[in-house]
Chain A
């Protein structure tokens, strides 16, 4: 799902400001002019996708080209939000990359089954983060059907 007229938009759902900062820094460093937006939890993510509440204006809050989803979040967490999105025909085509600190086998299995594109463990170093994002985000934006991979667990 590419939009020719504007830059690709990536929505990151994570309550950790540091991680958001690091990812933003990484994207900036990678040098791709992406529109990167943030929501704090699963509830906000769903509100954004369904243009509810603060995100009612669909022009201002268009559908993202990629979602970076953390699993451990307040209110509705990533584990709950993922199957909701993936079971909605309007939303299921948006590729979702899991970016989390959880290395649980169960989380990996469930998210894979729910339709996540790949499962990435948040790396320890900035260099690894740069490496990971440049590799996976670009690949998925170009071809959403890349095989499911688990990195860093």
Chain B
């Protein structure tokens, strides 16, 4: 055979053959490992060789091959006698490259010495453990635990080692460590936070406690203040309550007053309602029950034409008038403008029952009229009587005097005496009638008032009586007298009568002196006419002023009708004054005339 270059086909054939053999080998190894075979044939250049597996224990081999730890057996020279597939995977080498090599060659250099010491220890004591880093085929380091057991069977002295991949464990440990670190960090961080928080809380608590204390203090202070205020409030409340009570009592009292008044009192609104009516109103007219006054009182549908009440709202001034109520009684009404509690203008009305008074007034008025009529008739009668009686009397006097003077011879002395008595009686009667006429005229004549100087009037009266005074040898002293409102002729008559009276009742033993003086007290003027005459008993001081009253008999030397002082009294009465006399018998008399200085208008 010639040596030739192998062709492609030859090469391909060779590769195919080699592949078949590889496959066959692998299958064999697989079978061995799996315990399927106890022996195999290996094709070697010197022929096929059968390899048996000594002590092949099928179960153990399966176990060793299937565990996830690397397993190996070190021979006595410390080379690897056997290893399982897992170790191969750990180292990234085929088993063939591992077997027979020294274990320490796979350990990182710094751990080799330690490994050797560990192996030595396991040979001595049976077991040893240690952690190492092994260098994988790709150069990376793998942490492992190496657990060594000394073993010997038959004549084989070796060490069995189990290599446990610690990568995961380390990773877990690292992870754990990392977690732990993280946790510690977190814990530290959290602790710091918490401590911070605690400090803050403590500060806050402190602040809170302080503020609580402050608050408590303030609360105590405030409580004290509040208690004070409360006490004051209680006192004030009591006072207010008292005030309210007082006001209520006052109100009640005022109400009682209104209720007790014997007059009716009511309030009237602008729209004719009666918001208040007192007892008298209610008793007399009943409750108005929301009705308007004219509806309530008179059953009318519109205000009464004769009512004056509402004029008050126009004039805003009090008004008084008379009204006949629905009870047909007379009332004197007083209306006042009144401001209600809400500020509105209403009317306060008060009604006084004047029915009795009106009746009394009417009766009085009727009586006065009757009396005036009677008085007028009496005056008329006095006048007519005195006047008309004068006529026939005058004839008696005239023919009597004719009989005496012209026909004296036809009468005997007795007849002449009778005739004389007749004439004397007629004269006396004539005198009485004249004074009665004077008296009656004094009462009826119209008075003409004017300022009258009493000094002048007294002087005129004295001069009227000049002859009489002269004849009596007397005198009249007139002092300064006031001027009064009076009827001059009547006052002249007054002074004439009093002066004449004083002269007439003079003492025979003494020259008559009449002193006239006066004074004004307040609105009254007093005139004193003082004489030194015979005087009189003061028990007659009233009687002497009555008509026809005489203190001396007809046969006394003092002639007169007894009408002089009665006329004086009438004159003074008509002027609204008074007259009186003071006297002690034998010691003269003083007549006191009081006259108003001014006469009331219309008097």
Interface residue ranges, A against B (CB under 8 Å):
16, 18, 22, 25, 101-103, 122-127, 129
0/1 per residue, B393-408, Cβ < 8 Å to A?
A: 0110111011001100
Among B401, B427, B437, the residue within 8 A (CB) of A127 is B401
Question: Are B387 and A22 in touch, CB under 8 angstroms?
Answer: no
Contact B405 A126 (CB under 8 A): yes
A-B CB proximity, top 9 nearest:
A125-B401, A126-B402, A124-B397, A126-B401, A18-B395, A126-B398, A124-B394, A22-B398, A101-B391
Contact of B397 among A16, A25, A125 (CB under 8 A): A125
Question: How many residues of chain B have a CB within 8 Å of chain A?
Answer: 15
- Cα A127 to Cα B401 in complex, Å, equals 8
Q: Cβ of A124 and Cβ of B398 under 8 Å apart?
A: yes
Residues on the B chain within 8 Å of A101, using CB: 387, 390-391, 394
Question: Which residue of B has the minimal Cβ distance to A29?
Answer: B406
Q: Chain A residues with Cβ under 8 A from B427's Cβ?
A: 124
Given A101-B387, A101-B390, A101-B394, A124:B405 Cβ within 8 A: no
Assembled-state Cα–Cα distance A129/B402 (Å): 11
Chain B hits for A18, CB < 8 A: 395, 398-399
Tell me the minimal C-beta distance from A108 to chain B in angstroms: 13
B417 CB to closest chain A CB (Å) equals 18
B residues apposed to A, CB below 8 Å:
387, 390-391, 394-395, 397-399, 401-402, 405-406, 427, 430, 437
CB distance from B411 to the nearest CB of A (A): 16
List residues of chain B with CB within 8 A of the CB of A127. 401, 405
- Enumerate chain A residues within 8 angstroms of B406, measured Cβ to Cβ: 126
17 pairs, A vs B, C-beta closer than 8 Å: A22-B398, A22-B402, A101-B390, A101-B391, A102-B387, A103-B437, A123-B398, A124-B394, A124-B397, A124-B398, A124-B401, A124-B430, A125-B397, A126-B402, A126-B405, A126-B406, A129-B398
Least CB distance from A112 to B in Å reads 17
Chain B residue nearest in CB terms to A122: B394
Question: What's the Cα separation between A101 and B386 when bound, in Å?
Answer: 11
Q: How far is the CA of A151 from the CA of B391 in the complex (A)?
A: 17
Return chain A residues, CB-CB under 8 Å to B394: 101, 122, 124
In the assembled complex, how far is the CB of residue A3 from the closest CB belonging to chain B, in whole angstroms?
A: 32
- Are B398 and A125 neighbours in the complex by a CB distance under 8 Å? yes
Residues of A within 8 A of B401 (CB): 124-127
Least distance between A129 CB and chain B CB atoms (Å): 7
Shortest distance between the CB of B291 and any CB in chain A (Å): 65
